[in-house]
Amino acid sequence: MIFTVAIDGPAAAGKGTISRAVAARFGFAHLDTGALYRAVGVKGGDPIAVARSLNATDLAHPGLRSLEAGQAASRVAVIPEVRAALLDFQRSFARQPGGAVLDGRDIGTVICPEAEVKLFITARPEIRAHRRWLEVGGDAAQVLTEVKERDARDMSRADAPLKPATDAIRIDTSDLSSEQAIAAAIAEIDRRLNTTG
């Protein structure tokens, strides 16, 4: 069975948590596409050359979840040649037999517009900044500033800006527990699986 779940949304909205839980629940392969961009940003050097030569070892870098890696990812993600270099990898992953969940910022709009399920996970900036602060620490006000800067950069980039696909189901996690958010996502996927048989 080929079945793709595209999960998009801004930083710290909960899409990673939801994606991993959904993949585990349905036995689908999972790809955090942001890790690709984080790996390119963290590795340094010419980002286009790095993107073209990226391998699985690069995705195991211990610093990929840091705030700095997220900022680096956002900076290299605006480069069209970097996005193009990573496109085929993501698309082939998405259509592998057995099902796949991909989370990122342009999965439902650019990478997998044909995905069987598209979810857009969001939350208020203050909520997302607090979550990120709990994860990485530092100055809470600075984290909020960086979250807002990243949102602006991701939403305004010329190539594949962050936005929900027109047919995406929006899940706002601002006032949901992780369990409630996961349950909402699973319900949508179950519904689609039941209608496609």
Q: Residue 10, annotated ligand binder?
A: yes
- Residue 137 is assigned to a ligand binding site: no
Whether residue 47 is annotated as binding a ligand: the answer is no
A 10 A CB-CB count for 7 gives: 30
How far is residue 175's CA from residue 85's CA, in Å, rounded to a whole number?
A: 37
Could you tell me which residues come within 8 angstroms of residue 115 by beta carbon, excluding any fewer than 6 positions away? 4, 5, 6, 94, 107, 108
Cβ atoms of 176 and 184 closer than 8 Å: yes
Q: Residue 12 annotated as binding?
A: yes
| Residue 14 is labelled as binding a ligand | yes
Q: Distance (Å, rounded) from C-alpha 43 to C-alpha 191?
A: 41
Neighbours of 127 (CB within 10 A): 18
In 3D, which of 8, 92, 96, 76 has the Cα closest to residue 36? 76
Tell me whether residue 43 is annotated as binding. no
Annotated binding residues for ATP, as ranges?
A: 9-17
Annotated binding residues, as ranges?
A: 9-17
